[in-house]
Structure 1
Amino acid sequence: MLVYHSAFDMYHSVYRMIQLLNNLKRDYVELERLRIWDYYLAFPNEMTKIKFQKEANDIKKLFPDKPNPYELVLDGKIIFEKMRPYQMTALKTLASHGLIDKAYLSENRITKIKTTLSDEVIGKFEELSERESNIIKIMTTYFHNMPLYGEGGLKERTNLLEYRYDA
């Protein structure tokens, strides 16, 4: 049986990375944080499983309680790790085309998309759906300000990566 999902499509991974990096508010983002963002952009129903802070309950209300039965993820950690090669290939492709800085990528940091190229590339994309747009806004603002490591960090709240041994 053939099953397709955009999470395991290298070209769609490039598309998602461009969308996320084009909306960055700062100059760079950590690789692990970007991978987590990409996971939630590929699987928006999984947003309901995040442990939000109490003051962020309005964000949780943006996502329906009744998930789409065709988008159920049984084990998010396994799917997240299966996405890794596609995500890394997408980032290396962006670096090889000069859209992000190769030196930062080797340090596990990803830079913003260079503006001169992004206008040309982004202009060819279809407009984002409201759901995708909301996810990107939440990820690049609320989750960008949240610490990545340790208790209460993004890794713990999403339960996609191990956080207990963070320095």
Structure 2
Amino acid sequence: MITYNPAFDLYHCIFRMIHIIQRLDDNDCLEVDKIRIWDFYVLFPSKTYTIMIRRNEEELKSWRKRYINKTKNPYEYNGDNRKLFDRLRPYQMAALSSLVSYGIIDKKHFLNKEIMISNRALLNKFIEKTGALSQTESNTLSFMSLFSKSMSMLGIYGLKSRTNLMESKYDAG
């Protein structure tokens, strides 16, 4: 039996990435790894419930509970999140590299492991042609943006540690 999984489809990854980077303001930069983490949760919204949210962030918990369904897709991967995140890396990097080659993402920033939009008009044209995210995907992306756009990647309260998708044990910060 052949099954389709959007996680390992380069074109679907490009589709997700254009919607993710659309959330950036002009002249804003985000780390490539942060974009990759956001993409992981857009693919697997129910896994946002594995993110560590601190006690003083109750508003985020209630927002997540209200807008992101906790029930898993029955076909969703049930293994280790970190291994799955690592398996996605080649697809995510190829999608981002494609967006660099199209001139949507700035090449200098990309080589420094940052994402910055270089041509918003072209990005908007791509989005117009490809269509919108589903409501669940859009809600998940809004949650991730609200939760972590200005959050550091490093340290015990950094995004790497809170999501546990990347090694953070030896981070300074």
Query: Which residue is 2:22 aligned to?
Result: 22
Whole-Å separation in 2 of the counterparts to 1:113 and 1:127: 21
Q: Is the 8 A contact 1:49 1:158 kept in 2?
A: yes
1:114-125 equivalent positions in 2, closer than 5 A: 114-125=119-130
Query: Which residue is 2:63 aligned to?
Result: 59
Instruction: Give the root-mean-square deviation of aligned CA atoms.
Output: 1.6
Whole-Å separation in 1 of the counterparts to 2:37 and 2:51: 11
Q: Is the 8 A contact 1:76 1:160 kept in 2?
A: yes
Unaligned runs of 5+ in 1: none
Q: Is the 8 A contact 1:22 1:113 kept in 2?
A: no
Count of aligned positions: 167
CA positional deviation for 1:84: 0.4
> How many percent of aligned residue pairs carry the same amino acid?
39
**Counterpart amino acid of 1:37?**
W
**Cα deviation 1:78-123 (Å, max 9, x = unaligned):** 1100000001101111101111011111100011362111221111
Query: Which residue is 2:41 aligned to?
Result: 40
Q: Is the 8 A contact 1:50 1:158 kept in 2?
A: yes
Whole-Å separation in 2 of the counterparts to 1:101 and 1:159: 28
Unaligned runs of 5+ in 2: none
TM-score (norm 2): 0.89
1:147 pairs with 2:148? no
Whole-Å separation in 1 of the counterparts to 2:127 and 2:141: 15
TM-score (norm 1): 0.92
Whole-Å separation in 2 of the counterparts to 1:50 and 1:71: 17
Is 124-133 or 150-159 further displaced after alignment? 124-133
